[in-house]
Amino acid sequence: MKDSTITLKEFIDSAQRSRKYPDNTAAALRVALRLFESELNDEEKTSVEKLRDNLDSIYHSVYEKNKTKYSAGSLDAYRKRVSKLIKDYLNYGTDPAKMNSWSPPVRRPSVSRRSRSTNAPGTNKQEKDESSDELATVATPGTTRIDWPLSGEGRKAVLVLPLDLSKDEAETIKKLIGLRVADSEEGGN
């Protein structure tokens, strides 16, 4: 019998080719599936239905093995992606006619906060600066955003880094953070 993860990978490829999944969605589903497939037993590997039925147990194993590598929120997002993939496969992937008639909702990019605030009458410089600060921390294609909670209510560090960050670039960032800490310890801001 065919491996369920291979079946699901083929479904992702097919859905992507037929424009049911945009490229970024297909890539995200592949990553999530890859994370879960190492935890599957023989029965789950041969049956998508069994995989669906045991997804919560599988998620628990994935969480325990990866809780130091990924945040709980990220692992939950991966679980939701695998669940969506299984649901889509069972609804549309088993029958070519259903696949052909499948019309997933198309998400349109919303107007950015910066565009709204720049076009809004009566906006002041402070509002524009705050909007620009928020946009500076938005991950764009080719980057990843990391939100790191700090001590104190609502305090966090936000890093937006390129996906292909080199070791030298990481060292530079580390040095900059070290300099910032040294400045604040000396009483400067």
> Same domain, yes or no, for 96 and 156?
no
Three-state DSSP at 145 gives: strand
Specify the pLDDT at position 149. Answer: 80
User: What Å distances lie between residue 83 and 12, 35, 69, 89, 139, CA to CA?
Assistant: 13, 13, 21, 10, 25
Specify the pLDDT at position 81. Answer: 93
Residue 178 structural domain? 139-189
**What are the phi and psi torsion angles at 57 (to 5°)?**
-65, -40
> Same domain, yes or no, for 83 and 25?
yes
Q: For residue 186, give both structure tokens.
A: 């000396």
| Position 126 in a domain | no
Q: Report the alpha-carbon distance of residue 42 to residue 26 in Å, rounded.
A: 25
| Position 81 in a domain | yes
pLDDT tens digit at each of 189 positions of the chain: 566 777 889 999 999 999 999 999 999 999 999 999 889 998 988 889 999 999 999 999 999 999 899 898 999 999 999 999 999 999 998 888 888 888 887 777 666 555 554 454 444 554 444 444 454 556 677 788 887 787 777 788 888 888 888 898 888 888 888 887 777 677 655
Specify the pLDDT at position 127. Answer: 47
> Same domain, yes or no, for 94 and 25?
yes
| Position 67 in a domain | yes
Specify the pLDDT at position 96. Answer: 85
Q: Report the alpha-carbon distance of residue 31 to residue 24 in Å, rounded.
A: 11
- Among 124, 102, 25, 1, smallest CA distance to 13 is for 25
> Same domain, yes or no, for 91 and 148?
no
As beta bridge partners, residue 159 has: 146
> Same domain, yes or no, for 19 and 65?
yes
| Position 149 in a domain | yes
Number of domains in the chain: 2
> Same domain, yes or no, for 88 and 22?
yes
Specify the pLDDT at position 137. Answer: 58
Look at residues 55, 75, 101 and tell me which one is the last residue of a structural domain: 101
Whole-prediction pTM value?
0.56
> Same domain, yes or no, for 58 and 145?
no
Cβ contact 161:146 at 8 Å: yes
